[in-house]
A = this chain, B = another copy of it.
Amino acid sequence: MTTRVVGLDGDDTLWHSEGHYITTTERLGELLAPYLDDDGSDLDHARAVQHLTEVERRNLARFGYGVKAFTLSMIETAVEVSGARVSASEIQRILDWSKELLDHPVELIEGVQETVDRLAGSYQLLLVTKGDLLHQESKVARSGLVERFESVHIVSEKDPATYNRVLAGTGVAPQEFVMVGNSVRSDVLPVLELGARAVHVPYHTTWALETVEGELPAEAAHLDRIDELPEFLEST
C-alpha cells in the first residue's frame, strides 16, 4: 500500500518551540544560582537547571506537557533549590515568563510553509501534537497552516494507543500512514510499533525528557531538513 496520509508533529517540526523553553530555563538558572552558592557560578547554574529536569520528570505523569506544567515545575524548583528562600517577586517573575512563553509569536521553521503547501496537494495531512490544549490550538491557529490539514489532533501523550486512536478515528490504515517529527521517542518509535512508517527530522536541540538512548531504528527514515520530505515520499 502506498502512503496516502502524512502526520506532522507541531513543536520543533513545524514551528520553533524548544528554544523558548531553553531561554526560560537559562533565566531560571540565573535566578537560582545565587541561592546555591555565594558566587553564583556556572556550576550552580547547571545544578539549578538539572534540578528542574528532575522536578519535571517527577511531575510529568501528573502535570503532563506544555507551558503550564513547565511553569509549575519551575516554581517548585525555585522553592526547592533556594531552600524555601525564593522571594514572592521572584515567583512572580517566573509567572511572567510563562505568559511570555504563551504569547510568543509562532515562527515557522525554514522550509515548512512550502513543504506543507506541496504535501497538501498529494496527501491527506494530519497534525498530531502534544502539550497544553489551549496553547496548542492557539499555535495551530496562528501558524497559518490550519487549512492545509484534514484534522488536528492535540493529545496528552504520543504512545502507540494514541496513534492507534487517531488512525482509527480518521479511517487510516497504518500501512498508508507516515509520521514526521523531531522526536524519536514521540514521533518515531510508537508509530513504527503500529506498523506505520516514520521519518525523523531532528531539531537542533531536544528536551531532556524526549531524548532516547541508542540509535534511530533501521526502519525509520532520517532527513536533515523538512523540505526534503516531498521528494523523499515520492521516491519511496
Interface on A for B, CB 8 Å cutoff? 62-64, 68-69, 71-72, 75-76, 78-79, 82, 84-89, 91-92, 95, 98-99, 102-103, 132-135, 137, 151, 154-157, 169
Q: Is the interface of A mostly helix, strand, loop or mixed?
A: helix
CA distance A199 to B85 in the complex (A): 51
Given contacts A62-B99, A87-B84, A133-B133, contact A92 B68 (CB under 8 A): no
Partner of A132, one of B64, B155, B169: B64
Number of copies: 2
CA distance A75 to B31 in the complex (A): 18
Closest B-chain residue to A101, C-beta based? B62
Question: Are the C-beta atoms of A68 and B63 separated by less than 8 Å?
Answer: yes
Q: What is the minimal beta-carbon distance from A170 to any residue of chain B, in angstroms?
A: 10
Given contacts A133-B154, A137-B156, A156-B133, contact A95 B75 (CB under 8 A): yes
Question: Are the C-beta atoms of A69 and B68 separated by less than 8 Å?
Answer: yes
CA distance A76 to B95 in the complex (A): 7
CA distance A92 to B81 in the complex (A): 12
CA distance A34 to B154 in the complex (A): 42
Question: Are the C-beta atoms of B84 and A98 separated by less than 8 Å?
Answer: no
Q: 19 more A-B contacts (CB under 8 A) besides A64-B135, A76-B92, A79-B88? A: A62-B103, A63-B68, A63-B134, A64-B134, A68-B68, A68-B72, A68-B132, A72-B95, A75-B91, A78-B88, A79-B89, A79-B91, A79-B95, A85-B88, A91-B91, A132-B133, A133-B133, A133-B155, A133-B156
